[in-house]
Structure 1
């Protein structure tokens, strides 16, 4: 009987990590919220001039996902996809501010409320 072939499953995990490192990054959600969704910038992104370097000559662009598509049908099918709907839902939530990020990291000042104990007013015989 011949030697059994070894399993190659351990390579798959390494290949996935390599692909993630070299994949082209899209714009982050906070960048899209602050820059691209502004009405002036959105109109400029939706009506771009012809660019031979970009897919579809830069004529089919999804502003929410910051992606170019080859054709109008591809863009329309993207608008109906779960990926686009999830991105739109994430964009509706307000972006974190710098102060919130610093507080989460433990660098900012905590704003503590002062605790005032109720005082008994003897004349009115009630708590103020």
Structure 2
């Protein structure tokens, strides 16, 4: 006789679910565009001091993707990958400004009041 029910997973465990959503979180595009791609800051990121807590001793870092790699060969192959090229294409588009976000939410736009037609008492009698 076969198994009667599926084995239970961590679907009901909220802590495991939340940890999975935020585990491999990288920097957002606007953070990379405004800070990391600045030439002064980029040079500092590419020539980091040795850090024993980071992968590859923090010597192999992709600025566009905000990722550390173990070896230089891994970094070179990452630069040729579709993931890196897609990220570079996303970074070429300009970031949204605060004004654009507010306009999209309807905060910065004044469309005026709706014109409501006032019906006089004489017109009411005609209806």
Q: Structure 1 length normalisation: TM-score?
A: 0.74
1:101 and 1:71 map into 2 onto residues whose CA distance is 40
Q: In the TM superposition, what is the alpha-carbon distance from 1:20 to its structure 2 partner?
A: 3.3
Unaligned residue ranges in structure 1 (runs of 5+)? 113-128
2:27 and 2:65 map into 1 onto residues whose CA distance is 8
Shift of the 17–110 alpha-carbon distance from structure 1 to 2, 3 Å rule, reads: farther
2:104 and 2:29 map into 1 onto residues whose CA distance is 19
2:111 and 2:83 map into 1 onto residues whose CA distance is 38
Q: In the TM superposition, what is the alpha-carbon distance from 1:93 to its structure 2 partner?
A: 0.2
Unaligned residue ranges in structure 2 (runs of 5+)? 113-127
Shift of the 111–43 alpha-carbon distance from structure 1 to 2, 3 Å rule, reads: farther
**Which position in structure 2 is the counterpart of 1:67?**
67
**Which position in structure 2 is the counterpart of 1:54?**
54
SS of residue paired to 1:96:
coil
1:66 and 1:30 map into 2 onto residues whose CA distance is 12
Alignment of 1:104-119 (within 5 A): 104-110=104-110
Deviating above 4 A after TM superposition, structure 1's stretches of 4 or more consecutive aligned residues are 12-19
1:35 to 2:38 alignment? no
Q: In the TM superposition, what is the alpha-carbon distance from 1:106 to its structure 2 partner?
A: 1.5
Shift of the 22–94 alpha-carbon distance from structure 1 to 2, 3 Å rule, reads: closer
1:23 to 2:23 alignment? yes
Are the equivalent residues in 2 in contact too, given 1:103–1:110 (CA < 8 A)? no
**Which position in structure 1 is the counterpart of 2:115?**
none
Shift of the 18–5 alpha-carbon distance from structure 1 to 2, 3 Å rule, reads: farther
Q: In the TM superposition, what is the alpha-carbon distance from 1:111 to its structure 2 partner?
A: 8.3
2:38 and 2:6 map into 1 onto residues whose CA distance is 52
Shift of the 67–13 alpha-carbon distance from structure 1 to 2, 3 Å rule, reads: same
